[in-house]
Chains A and B, each alone.
Chain A
């Protein structure tokens, strides 16, 4: 059976949950294998964790010196495809970094990027992905006609898990960063506290222009924290300076597809809807009964979010 390679996503020496989802997706189209770029000190723990998440092989590389941006991961992926030989697909999380890596890798492999995939299957031996288009207005299945398909995967799309592998085979990769590479001078992680990331959260609570100020966004945060959800913001709220740009949900921000999406004070312009309308259940609170968000909300409330949201928070906290 060919191997399906996954780029392991780690943070602070641990696997991020999306890695297990990527391995589960990979298991549908091949023998799941992980490509891991990590500090040698973290490697044993991560290899064990990858095995538990289903990786039968782990291809490991140490990051190149000099903090080059993404070039270590790209070199590791390239080397992993070469070392593996029979590869059915490469799966990479659809993030800013992941999409950049996928683009470069597809050019190197003279294949194609199957972007923003939410499902993957083998159809007559061909790897086929499902991709929502125009914010979920369409669903299109794509395949590749040559080369190893490079799949960018939208996290939180499937719920299955891969069978654990007891002792994954470990393959050493040697990678060097090519010149001229961009270098990372400094990194800033925005404090998100204990909240899940937008793309990984099963509940997203977003605030819009109706929230009115940065200070009042606490009403959004309190509801999100009560249900273990992520906080999002509409473009209007971000442009008004109420909330940082990396939390923007919509056409020009992050696309989310959680189990529950709660929109507070968001009118629901088409650009916003394009980033959240594939959510399973949508609850909306807005003062304006004509707000377009009500056209797609499963449960809409015309009212003041500052009375409705705290009551909702309290009722869910008591549960």
Chain B
């Protein structure tokens, strides 16, 4: 089975992430850009499935030129090839616009399974996997912590608030994985070296046949009106327990009428 894994390059969550205070878009220069951790778990699932069932893994990303670093990470882990969708007109695309572009690329790839992270650490709308499924006419199984494939059918454990369910769906399908799905393998030296030689196809909007008027900040259906940095939260007072700190904490909460 051939699998496409979607990769996103995001600001490192260990850094102080910023928005541009002009249009409230992501300030990519403020923080190191890294492959979103959840996507490495998606790559791991895809590699495990192709090891069991044959086929190859294609890593797909949409992003600026530097996003190839994230693809190289996936290639070093073992993906066979990569697709990098990049076009100046894409900057500022919202989730709906992004899904139109990714869907166009995925139609060209014609895979049996599309694997994504359940939500990116920067956008956090968690909407793109379902949007892709909608555009491609496929079933979606999101927030998956375990998945097996038997013939043309996948069975997955889907975790939601307050419980989980066992879900069955026909292939092809879109699945989004949560952080319990698998521990990503570390690329070894051989993997890192071979990643440099693996094919990375660059696609533009024209290559995909996507209308430039429907993407980017101008073509997206959502627009930031205004924004503000929240004043940084400052600590109140901290005491060292002298044997009465629990009672003092209770008094603090009761006096402030918050409990």
Contact = CB atoms under 8 A, between A and B. Distances in A.
Interface of A: 69, 95-97, 99-104, 106-108, 110-116, 123, 128, 132-134, 136-147, 152, 180-190, 192, 197-199, 203, 227, 245-246, 251-252, 254, 259-260, 270-271, 274, 277-278, 280-281, 283, 285, 289, 294-304, 307-316, 319
9 tightest A-B CB contacts, nearest first: A311-B246, A303-B241, A300-B238, A103-B127, A315-B250, A112-B221, A103-B130, A112-B222, A140-B227
Interface of B: 13-14, 17, 19, 24, 37-38, 94-96, 99, 118-119, 121-131, 133-135, 138-143, 145, 155, 158-170, 173, 178-180, 220-230, 232-241, 243-254, 256, 258-259
Contacts of B258: 259-260, 280-281
Contact of A136 (B127, B138, B230, B238): B230
Contacts of B229: 137-139
A141 B19 contact: no
A251 B165 contact: no
B233 A99 contact: no
A192 B161 CA distance: 11
A299 B249 contact: yes
B246 A116 contact: no
Given A100-B142, A113-B127, A144 B134 contact: no
Contact of B239 (A104, A139, A188, A302): A302
Contact of B250 (A123, A134, A312): A312
A182 B139 contact: yes
Contacts, number: 291
Contact of A113 (B161, B222, B224): B222
23 contacts: A95-B161, A99-B130, A103-B125, A104-B140, A106-B131, A108-B134, A112-B96, A115-B126, A137-B17, A138-B24, A138-B229, A140-B19, A182-B168, A198-B161, A245-B145, A246-B163, A259-B258, A281-B253, A294-B235, A297-B236, A301-B239, A308-B245, A312-B247
B227 A141 contact: yes
Contact of A283 (B127, B133, B243, B253): B253
B137 to A, nearest CB: 8
